[in-house]
Chains A and B, each alone.
Chain A
Amino acid sequence: SQTIHQWPATLVQPVGSPLSLECTVEGTSNPNLYWYRQAAGRGLQLLFYSVGIGQISSEVPQNLSASRPQDRQFILSSKKLLLSDSGFYLCAWSEPRISGNTIYFGEGSWLTVV
């Protein structure tokens, strides 16, 4: 069966410091990968998605970047964090080229920028 893991679960970082959140998926090949951010426990905003190694699409301009160095690894980064980057970050995956697309989420990472 497929599993998804992301870490760290909780992070407190000062303004201006770098960020690296990592996500890995097991049990599937060439998944679509996603990073979402959720503010105030409500709707999810899609930040980045990837349909293959090295292929990253950004949905919104921001202080963050994403990379996919391996097929099942997705990394969210920032060189200098802002206060507004605080939130709940969710990595997710889906099967490629499957109709009725369903997304499966990781456990989430709480980021607090102080």
Chain B
Amino acid sequence: TQLLEQSPQFLSIQEGENLTVYCNSSSVFSSLQWYRQEPGEGPVLLVTVVTGGEVKKLKRLTFQFGDARKDSSLHITAAQPGDTGLYLCAGAWGGSNYKLTFGKGTLLTVNP
């Protein structure tokens, strides 16, 4: 069973600060997704990465996929209270391309 580890589990910062959260596995991903979830709602896709070394930017969010496709990071610049939520990474491996395994998430709180 492939496992995804996310760190940190909890993060509380002040508005305007930068932060990075991580997603790691001992296995090679065929693809990796980042989702953001607000309380009582379903997760919403932020980005999908499939190529080792890939970097994608979404406004103040920067996503990086490791060269070996075993890890990923999400960096937020100048965090805002609206960034508060649970950030989940999810990976697919090899032939199970239609199944995703989720990490436990990083719960981010941005204080005004």
Contacts and interface: CB of A to CB of B under 8 A. Distances in A.
A41 B98 contact: no
Interface residues of B, number: 28
B30 A99 contact: yes
Contacts, number: 67
A32 B33 contact: no
A32 B92 CA distance: 14
Contacts of B49: 100
B103 A107 contact: no
Contacts of B97: 99, 101
A63 B94 CA distance: 29
Given A103-B100, A108-B41, A110-B40, A42 B105 contact: yes
Interface of A: 32, 36, 41-46, 49, 51, 88, 90, 92, 94, 96, 99-108, 110
Interface of B: 30-31, 33, 35, 39-45, 48-50, 86, 88, 90, 92, 97-105, 107
